[in-house]
């Protein structure tokens, strides 16, 4: 798998469904410049782990927005499939109530550019990319099809990224907002372990 961390995120321009019911012909990564972006891939609409993740992101959407983060979901389904799934109630396995953009990557070009297609090229793995305000990938993780993500961990990583950008210090293992950080030096490491 290709590592994109530290590189410009691949640009895309694709159709999407926004606000749970509106088709747009052009969802472009560039349009979100100046904001952080969480771009996550999921295998397919109308599957099993996927709706749990999509709802989990929706449930925390206000927290993401307070941190100046846009959430974008993407799969190899058509925009029509996205809309049908968005019109299916949660208790029937649907994602009714999801409002962030769901991008249609029916030609699989976005998944290919982000190197998250399965070996047989049929669907995208559960890739997640944290992109900074300048369009640079700062974090990526790819899960196999059966392994759902932890949305709280994504929020923690955003806090860590924003903290390091603001204060120039680094975040040690298991760091959470408000925890002790350290200066990125040998002296900073010694000070961290001294306390």
Whether 186 maps to a domain, the answer reads: no
Interatomic CA distance for residues 180 and 105, integer angstroms:
41
pLDDT digits (tens, 9 = 90+) for 38-80: 999 999 999 999 999 999 999 999 999 999 999 999 999 999 9
Res. 139 pLDDT band, cuts 50 70 90: very high
Instruction: Tell me if residue 74 is catalytic.
Output: no
Burial degree of 55 (CB within 10 A; 0-12, 13-18, 19+): middle
Q: Is 47 domain-assigned? A: yes
Catalytic pick among 27, 50, 74, 171: 50
pTM: 0.95
Domain membership of residue 97 as a residue range: 13-149
Specify the CATH number for the domain of residue 50: 3.40.30.10
Is residue 112 domain-resident? yes
Residue 184 lies in a domain: no
Question: Into how many domains does the chain fold?
Answer: 1
Predicted local distance difference test score (pLDDT) of residue 54: 98
pLDDT of residue 1: 53
- List of residues 6+ apart from 64 with CB closer than 8 A: 38, 57, 70, 71, 155, 158
Q: Are 102 and 17 in contact (CB under 8 A)?
A: yes
At 21, list the tokens: 């019911």
């Amino acid at each position: 798998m290709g590592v994109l961390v530290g590189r410009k995120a691949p640009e895309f321009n694709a159709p999407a469904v926004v606000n749970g019911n509106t088709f747009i012909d052009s969802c472009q990564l560039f349009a979100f410049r100046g904001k952080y972006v969480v771009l996550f891939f999921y295998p397919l609409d109308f599957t099993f782990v996927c709706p749990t993740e999509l709802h989990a992101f929706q449930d925390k959407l206000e927290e993401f927005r307070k941190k100046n983060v846009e959430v974008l979901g993407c799969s190899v389904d058509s925009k029509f499939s996205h809309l049908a799934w968005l019109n299916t109630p949660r208790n029937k396995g649907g994602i009714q109530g999801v409002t962030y953009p769901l991008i249609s990557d029916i030609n699989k070009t976005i998944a290919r550019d982000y190197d998250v297609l399965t070996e047989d090229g049929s669907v995208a793995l559960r890739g997640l990319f944290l992109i900074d305000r300048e369009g640079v990938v700062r974090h990526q993780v790819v899960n196999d099809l059966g392994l759902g993500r932890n949305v709280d961990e994504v929020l923690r990583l955003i806090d860590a990224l924003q903290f390091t950008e603001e204060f120039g210090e680094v975040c040690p293992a298991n760091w959470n907002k408000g925890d002790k950080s350290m200066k990125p030096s040998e002296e900073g490491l010694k000070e961290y372990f001294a306390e």
